[in-house]
């Protein structure tokens, strides 16, 4: 095998090393190690460290690669012009579809193993914080919750994110039902005050600027 760390720009070499890491993660899951990734790339572990400073640098680069797409998908789902129940189910389905499509990557990001695993903690944490911010912004801009709107939006954003993370983890591991059934079950749990609340009016021409994730709009998480 030829070394993936040679040839091309520094960024191109980094991307090839991340490609090699992805292949190992898809094969080994949470047990993916620096030794295995270096071997897959055809280089030594010190050369791998040279590109990412240390194993935590590689760990973070992998997390950013995979969570960027997840965050973009959630933002797009939140911005769809759907009835509220359909919007809730669409966001839930977007998240569950993402973890279902890459289960080993998901397990690696949420359940890294000890020893030569790439590191402690969950590298999904920054992305989950951003998802919670996006949900809070969507609730704040789209739902009329009266005087408690700010508190409820922030609380619900974090509560919904944590609930879906825990439930999705269990669902991916146990597969007790189809994704469609899981989406419906989670939406049913959420369907209390959120369903009863009034729709916040949006002035003509301001819907796009107020959309969650739009840097020009208030409440943007970026």
Domain that holds residue 4: 1-52
Domain check: are 126 and 204 in the same one? yes
Domain check: are 44 and 81 in the same one? no
- This prediction has a pTM of 0.74
Residue 158 domain flag: yes
Per-residue pLDDT of the chain (222 residues; tens, 9 = 90+): 444 445 578 888 889 999 999 999 888 887 888 889 999 999 998 888 888 887 778 878 888 888 888 899 999 999 999 898 999 999 999 999 999 998 988 888 777 654 444 444 566 778 888 999 999 999 998 888 889 999 999 999 999 999 999 999 999 999 999 999 999 999 999 887 677 777 777 655 544 444 444 443 333 333
Which tokens hold the place of 135?
């949900």
Number of structural domains found in the chain: 2
Domain check: are 20 and 91 in the same one? no
Farthest CA pair distance, the chain: 63
Separation between Cα atoms, residue 74 and residue 66, nearest integer Å:
13
Residue 64's contacts (CB-CB under 8 Å, 6 or more residues apart) are none
Residue 57 domain flag: no
Domain check: are 135 and 200 in the same one? yes
């Amino acid at each position: 095998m030829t070394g993936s760390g040679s040839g091309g720009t520094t960024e191109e070499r980094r991307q090839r090393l991340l490609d090699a890491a992805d292949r190992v993660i898809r094969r080994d899951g949470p047990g993916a190690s620096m030794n295995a990734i270096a071997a897959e790339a055809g280089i030594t572990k010190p050369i791998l460290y040279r590109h990412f400073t240390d194993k935590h640098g590689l760990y973070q680069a992998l997390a950013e690669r995979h969570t960027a797409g997840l965050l973009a998908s959630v933002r797009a789902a939140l911005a769809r012009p759907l009835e509220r129940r359909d919007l809730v189910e669409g966001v839930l389905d977007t998240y569950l579809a993402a973890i279902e499509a890459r289960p080993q990557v998901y397990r690696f990001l949420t359940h890294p193993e000890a020893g030569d695993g790439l590191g402690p903690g969950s590298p999904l944490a920054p992305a989950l914080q951003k998802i919670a911010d996006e949900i809070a912004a969507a609730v704040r801009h789209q739902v009329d919750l009266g005087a408690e709107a700010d508190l409820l939006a922030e609380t619900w954003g974090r509560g919904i994110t944590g609930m879906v993370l825990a439930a999705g983890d269990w669902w991916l591991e146990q597969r007790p039902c189809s994704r469609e059934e899981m989406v419906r079950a989670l939406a049913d749990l959420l369907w209390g005050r959120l369903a009863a609340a009034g729709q916040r009016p949006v002035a003509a021409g301001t819907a796009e600027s107020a959309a969650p994730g739009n840097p020009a709009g208030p409440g943007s998480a970026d």
